[in-house]
Amino acid sequence: MKKTDDNDIRTLDIVTHEVGLLEMQDGRSTPDDRRWANQVAGSMRARIAEHRRSRLPKTVAIKKAGPISERLLAMPRAVLEALFGSLVEQWGPQAQFAHRQLDTLSDNDLRRMIQTIENHTNRG
């Protein structure tokens, strides 16, 4: 960015700031002011939403889950549950899990969750 642009932006910042402070001190707004402000905010929100929509990808790649490791396949249910519990504790509030129409987490469902957590833990 050129230096003159820099100066222009800085000047605009200062002027806007000072006008804002003056407005705050005065503290009066008419119904017309509020209507105008709502219109400006509404129109900005609409433009941002339109931009957001236009940036959405046309197609999204769907990943396929990899095979479960031999190590996890060899683990019995009790060990899996203990391991899962300790990993969840380790991640604390950064971990979130939800299931739709959860019946019972099968051993392999549990193994797959553990594998995802372990892979991500090791990556970090």
Contact positions toward another protein, by CB under 8 A? 45-46, 49-50, 52-53, 55-58, 60, 62-65, 81, 84-85, 88, 91, 94-106, 108-110, 112-113, 116-117, 120-121, 124
Q: Kindly tell me which of 75 and 113 has the beta carbon lying closer to another protein.
A: 113
Tell me how far, at minimum, the Cβ of 113 lies from another protein, in Å.
7
Q: What angle do CA 38, 28, 48 make, to 5 degrees?
A: 20
Q: What angle do CA 43, 16, 44 make, to 5 degrees?
A: 10
Q: Kindly tell me which of 25 and 122 has the beta carbon lying closer to another protein.
A: 122
Q: Kindly tell me which of 16 and 106 has the beta carbon lying closer to another protein.
A: 106
For 24, 60, 79, 81, 91, the CA distances from 120, given in Å and listed in that order, are 49, 22, 20, 18, 11
Q: Kindly tell me which of 76 and 124 has the beta carbon lying closer to another protein.
A: 124
Tell me how far, at minimum, the Cβ of 24 lies from another protein, in Å.
29
Position 45, amino acid: R
Whether the CA torsion 78, 81, 84, 85 is positive or negative: it is negative
Tell me how far, at minimum, the Cβ of 38 lies from another protein, in Å.
15
